[in-house]
Amino acid sequence: MSDKAEIFDNIVTSRHSLRAFLPQAVDEETLNRVFSVAQSAPSNCNSQPWVVHVVSGQKLETLRAEMPERFVTGNISMDFPYDGVYQGVYKERQYGAAQSLYDAVGIAREDKVKRNEQFMRNFTFFDAPHVAFLFLPEPFGLREAADLGMYAQTLMLTLTAHGLGSCPQTALGFQADYVREQLGIEPSNKLVFGLSFGYPDPDAPVNACVTERATVAEAVAFHS
């Protein structure tokens, strides 16, 4: 194995969703470097159909203060329906991932209050100093959403390579209108999800949560 392959393998396998961050902000030079590299992500016909808004500082604190209450009081707006149904092995994986998270933070499966508190941390960005909101411009659809997904993965791997961590959060798409209003974004840009990021908190038990992955034999078929 080449040195380059080993480094890349380590980056990919060490990336996982983090839910606790240090308050230290990422410096501007590193932010520019990370988002510049992420622009290398592939897309159909090089269309690059993503619009990204990164929020930090006082604007982030405003969102952090207001979004939890808005969600609790039913102020919810989504650009894309959250109606997926997991069945069979996919349901088992979902259950296993949730159980791993609860185990990491010492929450009993039947403790609905604590589980809800953990979920609500989505709307305070897990104390991260930065959040990126990823939008898909109209009239793009499923094919371009796949491009945005490839961009997001490239971004998360780049963050990992720079010693940073991240957590992709579909929950942040539950307040699309509010986010657009606060950031002055055109209605034609549709919010897919958010990505909290920053320096990982190495002492937080929740960051020890690493979910299992299917084997190659379960996910990939080789033909010749």
Model confidence at 215: pLDDT above 80: yes
Using a 10 angstrom Cβ sphere, with 0-12 exposed, 13-18 middle and 19 or more buried, the burial of residue 196 is buried
Other residues' Cβ atoms within 10 Å of the Cβ of residue 78: 15
Predicted confidence at residue 60, as pLDDT, reads 98
What is the per-residue pLDDT across 173-200, written as a single tens digit (0 to 9) for each? 999 999 999 999 999 999 999 999 999 9
Model confidence at 30: pLDDT above 90: yes
Confidence of residue 8 (pLDDT cuts 50, 70, 90): very high
**Closest of 50, 53, 49 to residue 182, by C-alpha:** 53
What is the per-residue pLDDT across 156-179, written as a single tens digit (0 to 9) for each? 999 999 999 999 999 999 999 999
Q: What is the pTM assigned to this prediction? A: 0.96
What is the per-residue pLDDT across 89-114, written as a single tens digit (0 to 9) for each? 999 999 999 999 999 999 998 999 99
Cβ-proximal residues to 138 (8 Å cutoff; 6+ apart), any chain: 188, 189, 190
What is the per-residue pLDDT across 121-163, written as a single tens digit (0 to 9) for each? 999 999 999 999 999 999 999 999 999 999 999 999 999 999 9
Give mean pLDDT, residues 3-21: 97
Confidence of residue 45 (pLDDT cuts 50, 70, 90): very high
Domains, the chain, ranges and CATH? 3-219 (3.40.109.10)
